[in-house]
Amino acid sequence: TPPELIRNFCIIAHIDHGKSTLADRMLQLTGVVEERAMRAQYLDRMDIERERGITIKSQAVRLPWAAPGRDGKTIDHVLNLIDTPGHVDFTYEVSRSLAACEGAVLLVDAAQGIEAQTLANLYLALENDLHVIPVLNKIDLPAAQPERYAEEIAHIIGGSPDDVLRVSGKTGAGVKELLDKVVAEIPPPVGDADAPARAMIFDSVYDIYRGVITYIRVIDGKITPRERIQMMSTRAIHELLEVGVISPEPIPTVGLGVGEVGYLITGVKDVRQSKVGDTITSAAKGATVPLGGYRDPRPMVYSGLYPLDGSDYPLLRDALDKLRLNDAALTYEPETSAALGFGYRCGYLGLLHMEITRDRLEREFGLDLISTTPNVVYRVTMEDTTTHVVTNPSDWPSGKIRDIVEPIVRCTIISPSEYIGTIMELCQSRRGSLGGMDYLSETRVELRYTMPLGEIIFDFFDALKSRTRGYASLDYEEIGMQEADLVKVDILLQGEAVDAFSAIVHKDSAYGYGVSMTAKLRELIPRQQFEVPIQAAVGSRVIARETIRAMRKDVLAKCYGGDITRKRKLLEKQKEGKKRMKMVGRVEVPQEAFIAALSTD
């Protein structure tokens, strides 16, 4: 297809504003999916995505669309709809999907208005110089207020409220007009057809039958099947087995030219060999300068993952090895904990990534898991100028520390204006500093904060939601590192540190953490035959203490003398119980106590 007849676009929206439903209507209207074969949310392939109603992996579909061309005559065009993942954790992947497009449909729920992710994605689209088509969705809803929210949108992106298209993904109203507008307004791709091939990878997914399927957008030149290609970031060379387009099933083609979007298969088995953002070129006479914007995926949040049943450890390892094939951002290495046994220290892009990974491990591999309190990556410089990168409280260096830096993020919060006070209070208590505030309309406000990522990953989102009765939305992006006064708090049982409970917290929160953790453990750990002190300490300084009083647990007292079988049975039972006990020094702790202590906050 000549570039003039191609339009590459994506739909950007806040979660639940109806992106997938609208995409489904587009598939139907363009005849790519027959009415009968249509199933809800055709593009969301993974079950888990469907259940959670979120899109994790982007996909691209090619839609034929006859629309009036520049001279008014109807011409067959090719629209490539590139699906973008919807959550903050995947900002980098979103930015690569956007970079594969010339335009974006900005979709806003006509009953909700602009939300934090709408704005975050809009900014990303503008950074990528995309042409933005504003659209209000769900106009069939009785609660829809298209006039009001068209104003809001016009206020943000400029132009008149009348330019905001109104559609319903449910009834299909306005979708034809939208596709015509995509052709009329979004510029066609430009590139040099005679230059060495350059194509950008905007997604890669692992398929058990075919290996890795790489989604690309060709910028210059042409990619043809049977040639050898090179990944420019690693210089690795692969044989091309197949090149094609998705419409909506994969269809092999004779090649992809300037501006085209499609997939390729090389036989690699691991998405790490086909990285999002990387540039593909021909192995022979290839390009020398890669496309801009490539970045290695970098975990932002770390947490320990342990099987509840220690004998599941090998299963967990196999499961992680399998997940990794499909997830270039997931990292893990073995870790042992006195409290929890053998497990893995895993690195994630963010909290949602962490939740999804754990969910998949439990669901797809039948594992029961416990995860330890997540933490971010700290850089600690010592007096002697050595530097430690700390992803685990147990790696916190001892000795004289000169300074500590932690990652900080810029947050965007959108909320009804009546909650401004309570939101500010919350953000301040999490060491946030207000960067600015704008009214989207008389009743809705956007607040911008700079905040340590470490303060967000615990329960910030939940706290925000509950303080605003669910009305506030949040988005954040990492903006760098900043010095912070942090300490490591250890929790000691009879003088022994329990690794799973060590935490790195701000100096001002150390006492609070110590008090709540020691109190919680006192409730959870059963009495022993001797007194057990529970202490919270920063270095050698104890900052909180509780005591579990001694109790004599005499199982045999119940056996009035003679009955030896009953006695044996009881002893057996006690041994059974002991198996699930963990020893911390001399103290026996049921594993349930650790689990309860970790999962209640």
Q: Is 585 exposed, middle or buried (0-12, 13-18, 19+ CB in 10 A)?
A: middle
Q: Select the residue interacting with ligand GTP from 140, 180, 309, 478 (CB under 6 A).
A: 140
Q: Select the residue interacting with ligand GTP from 1, 5, 15, 481 (CB under 6 A).
A: 15
**H or E element at residue 503:** strand 503-506
- 16 assigned ligand-binding residue: yes
Q: Work out whether 91 is an interface residue with ligand GTP (CB under 6 A).
A: no
Contact segment (CB under 6 A) with ligand GTP among 19-27, 259-267, 368-376, 505-513 equals 19-27
In degrees rounded to 5, what are phi and psi of residue 443? -110, -5
- 558 assigned ligand-binding residue: no
C-beta closer to ligand GTP: residue 6 or 107? 107
Contact segment (CB under 6 A) with ligand GTP among 49-57, 369-377, 529-537, 570-578 equals 49-57
Q: Work out whether 141 is an interface residue with ligand GTP (CB under 6 A).
A: yes
Q: Work out whether 97 is an interface residue with ligand GTP (CB under 6 A).
A: no
CA dihedral 317, 234, 262, 107 (to 10 degrees): 70
CB 344 within 8 A of CB 332: yes
Q: How far is the CB of 173 from ligand GTP (least distance, A)?
A: 8
C-beta closer to ligand GTP: residue 168 or 415? 168
DSSP states of 177-227 as a string? HHHHHHHHHSPPP---TTSPPEEEEEEEEEETTTEEEEEEEEEES-B-TTS
d(CA 195, CA 480): 37
- 312 assigned ligand-binding residue: no
Contact segment (CB under 6 A) with ligand GTP among 14-22, 203-211, 310-318, 470-478 equals 14-22
Contact segment (CB under 6 A) with ligand GTP among 168-176, 318-326, 349-357, 585-593 equals 168-176
d(CA 154, CA 473): 20
Q: Select the residue interacting with ligand GTP from 97, 137, 204, 373 (CB under 6 A).
A: 137
- Encoded one letter per residue, x for contact with ligand GTP by CB under 6 A and - for no contact, window 191-230 reads ----------------------------------------
- Encoded one letter per residue, x for contact with ligand GTP by CB under 6 A and - for no contact, window 296-335 reads ----------------------------------------
Residues 54-63, buried b or exposed e (16+ Cβ, 10 A)?
bbbbbbbbbb
Residues 232-291 binding ligand GTP (CB under 6 A) are none
C-beta closer to ligand GTP: residue 170 or 317? 170
Q: Select the residue interacting with ligand GTP from 30, 168, 337, 528 (CB under 6 A).
A: 168
Report how far Cα 313 is from the mean position of its chain's Cα atoms: 25
- 269 assigned ligand-binding residue: no
Q: How far is the CB of 23 from ligand GTP (least distance, A)?
A: 7
Q: How far is the CB of 168 from ligand GTP (least distance, A)?
A: 4
Q: Work out whether 54 is an interface residue with ligand GTP (CB under 6 A).
A: yes
C-beta closer to ligand GTP: residue 55 or 273? 55
Angular region, 583: left φ>0, alpha ψ -120 to 50, beta rest: beta
Q: Work out whether 51 is an interface residue with ligand GTP (CB under 6 A).
A: no
Pairing of the two strands 261-265 and 211-220: antiparallel
d(CA 393, CA 341): 17
- 17 assigned ligand-binding residue: yes
C-beta closer to ligand GTP: residue 136 or 517? 136
Q: Work out whether 53 is an interface residue with ligand GTP (CB under 6 A).
A: yes
Q: How far is the CB of 389 from ligand GTP (least distance, A)?
A: 34
d(CA 62, CA 496): 61
Residue type, 355: E
Q: Work out whether 25 is an interface residue with ligand GTP (CB under 6 A).
A: no
CB 125 within 8 A of CB 104: yes
Beta bridge partners of 369: 307
Q: Select the residue interacting with ligand GTP from 7, 8, 18, 96 (CB under 6 A).
A: 18
The structure tokens 């932002």 sit at: 300
Site residue total, ligand GTP (CB under 6 A): 19
Q: Work out whether 121 is an interface residue with ligand GTP (CB under 6 A).
A: no
d(CA 189, CA 129): 12
Which residues have C-beta within 8 Å of that of residue 509, sequence separation ≥ 6? none
DSSP states of 254-308 as a string? S-B-TT-EEEEE-----GGGS-TT-EEEESSS--SSPPS--------EEEEEEES
Beta bridge partners of 537: 490, 542
Beta bridge partners of 337: 341
CB 550 within 8 A of CB 521: no
C-beta closer to ligand GTP: residue 150 or 280? 150
Contact segment (CB under 6 A) with ligand GTP among 13-21, 151-159, 468-476, 568-576 equals 13-21
Q: Work out whether 48 is an interface residue with ligand GTP (CB under 6 A).
A: no
C-beta closer to ligand GTP: residue 52 or 148? 52
Query: How large is the C-alpha radius of gyration of the chain?
Result: 28
d(CA 118, CA 487): 37
Contact segment (CB under 6 A) with ligand GTP among 52-60, 228-236, 466-474, 560-568 equals 52-60
Binding site residues, as ranges? 16-21, 137-140
Which residues make up each annotated binding site for GTP? 16-21, 137-140
Contact residues: ligand GTP, CB under 6 A: 13, 15-21, 53-55, 86, 137-138, 140-141, 168-170
